[in-house]
Structure formats: C-alpha cells, structure tokens
C-alpha cells in the first residue's frame, strides 16, 4: 500500500513537471504559410509534414525548444549565403548539415518514390517553386 502511494506521488510530480513544457508548444499553423527566402517564397504546409516531429525542423536553440522564424537575428538571417547557417544553405543543401535540411529529406523521399523527384527536388516547376 505504502509503495503504491509513493508511486502515485512520484507519478503526480512527473505529470506536473511535464505539463508546462508541453504548454509552451504553439499550435501548428492550420493553413500553408509563406516561408520567405532571398528571392522565392515557398508555401510551406504543415499538414503534408505532419508525420515528422516538430524538432526535425524547429530544432532546439541553446537546449530549448524554439519556434522562432528561421531568419531571426542571430539564426539564419543571411538569406543568400551558400554556407550554413545561411538560410539558402539550410534549406537547399542536399546533405544533412548539423540538422536535417529541407532538401536532404526531400532527396531521401524522392529516392524511394522516383516519380516525385522533380516535384520535391527540382527547382522551377517543382512543388516548392511552382513558377
Ligand atoms: C518539415 C519541417 C517542419 C516541421 C516538421 C514543423 N514545422 Fe513548423 N514551421 C516550419 C517552417 C519552414 C516554418 C516557417 C518558418 C519561417 O517563416 O521562418 C514553420 C512555422 C511554424 C510556426 C510559426 C507560424 C508563424 O506564422 O509565425 C509555428 C507556430 C510552428 N511552425 C509550429 C510547429 C509545430 C508545433 C510543429 C510540430 C507539431 C511543427 N511546426 C512542425 C517547418 C516545420
Ligand atoms: C523529414 C523530411 C522532410 C523535411 C525535413 C521537409 N520535408 Fe517537405 N516534404 C516531405 C515529404 C515526405 C513530402 C511529400 C508529402 C506528400 O506529398 O504527401 C514533402 C512535400 C513538400 C512540399 C510539397 C507539398 C506541399 O506541402 O505543398 C513542399 C512545398 C515542401 N515539402 C517544402 C518543404 C520545406 C520548405 C522544408 C524545409 C523547411 C521541408 N519541406 C522539409 C518531407 C520533408
């Protein structure tokens, strides 16, 4: 009896501590959002990426969960550079960098579904840059 009471207290404490971390997670945008780069805007749709954990893209910053805009000051604010952490690089690099890039995942997906190659890894005329 005593052990189960202790177990209950431990469980309650764990739940109480875990709750605030979850509460700080914002709602997933329901509509496609404009993800702006140096030149081309991508309509980014969370719905088509719902199979993945948030932190695949919204990686931790200094050990904390973050949902700041990618181009926030001190982050990927250089839009055009070809080297990480510039935004162009962390979106387009075909190899994984410190974190997975948009393109490194799309390349893997297209390798499994060759019919999606142009749509997911192409430039003009792809689903990312339709025009
Ligand atoms: C495949 C990549 C990816 C995944 C997975 C992902 N997001 Fe995002 N999210 C983005 C991108 C890209 C943006 C646009 C960032 C910008 O504009 O700089 C964004 C923007 C947001 C924004 C800001 C919206 C705004 O208009 O300011 C919120 C909030 C957000 N995501 C929450 C989430 C949550 C919660 C999850 C997990 C349930 C999640 N995202 C999963 C890529 C992703
Ligand atoms: C971990 C893997 C992964 C990452 C990272 C990822 N994607 Fe995708 N993306 C996918 C898959 C899988 C699809 C195909 C989804 C489908 O057709 O159902 C897709 C489809 C898309 C599409 C076309 C479908 C649509 O929603 O209009 C766009 C545009 C897109 N991704 C943009 C991005 C951008 C921008 C980023 C980086 C911020 C990104 N993706 C990161 C896996 C990923």
HEC string for 36-69: CCCCCCEEECCHHHCCCCHHHHCCCECCECCCCC
Out of 67, 97, 102, mutate this one to test ligand 2's pocket (max ligand atoms within 8 Å of CB): namely 102
On whether residue 12 sits in a domain, the answer given is: no
Domain extent for 97: 29-121
Cβ-based neighbour number of residue 44 at 10 Å: 15
Out of 31, 49, 88, mutate this one to test ligand 2's pocket (max ligand atoms within 8 Å of CB): namely 49
Predicted TM-score (pTM) of this structure:
0.89
- Domain count for the chain: 1
On whether residue 48 sits in a domain, the answer given is: yes
Bond into 85 cis (ω within 30): yes
CATH code for position 110: 3.90.10.10
On whether residue 3 sits in a domain, the answer given is: no
Q: What is the pLDDT of residues 85-113, one digit of tens each?
A: 999 999 999 999 999 999 999 999 999 99
Q: What is the pLDDT of residues 12-53, one digit of tens each?
A: 555 555 545 555 789 999 999 999 998 899 999 999 999 999
On whether residue 78 sits in a domain, the answer given is: yes
On whether residue 39 sits in a domain, the answer given is: yes
The number of angstroms, rounded, from the C-alpha of 17 to the middle of its chain's C-alpha atoms is 25
On whether residue 129 sits in a domain, the answer given is: no
89 or 131: whose pLDDT is higher?
89
The ligand that comes nearest to the alpha carbon of residue 112 is 2
44 lines ligand 1 (CB under 6 A): yes
On whether residue 16 sits in a domain, the answer given is: no
On whether residue 128 sits in a domain, the answer given is: no
Where do we find the tokens 């005329």? 125
- Spatial distance between the Cα atoms of 129 and 131, rounded to a whole number of angstroms: 6
CA of 102 to the centre of ligand 2 (A): 7
CA of 122 to the centre of ligand 2 (A): 12
């Amino acid at each position: 009896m005593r052990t189960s009471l202790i177990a209950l207290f431990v469980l309650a404490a764990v739940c109480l501590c875990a709750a605030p971390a979850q509460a700080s997670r914002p709602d997933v945008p329901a509509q496609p959002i404009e993800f702006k780069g140096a030149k081309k805007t991508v309509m980014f749709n969370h719905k088509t990426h719902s199979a993945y954990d948030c932190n695949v893209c919204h990686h931790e910053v200094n050990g904390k969960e973050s949902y700041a805009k990618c181009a926030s000051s001190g982050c990927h604010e250089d839009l055009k550079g070809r080297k990480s952490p510039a935004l162009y690089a962390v979106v387009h690099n075909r190899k994984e960098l410190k974190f997975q890039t948009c393109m490194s995942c799309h390349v893997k997906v297209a390798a499994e579904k060759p019919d999606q190659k142009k749509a997911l890894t192409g430039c003009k005329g792809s689903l990312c840059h339709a025009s």
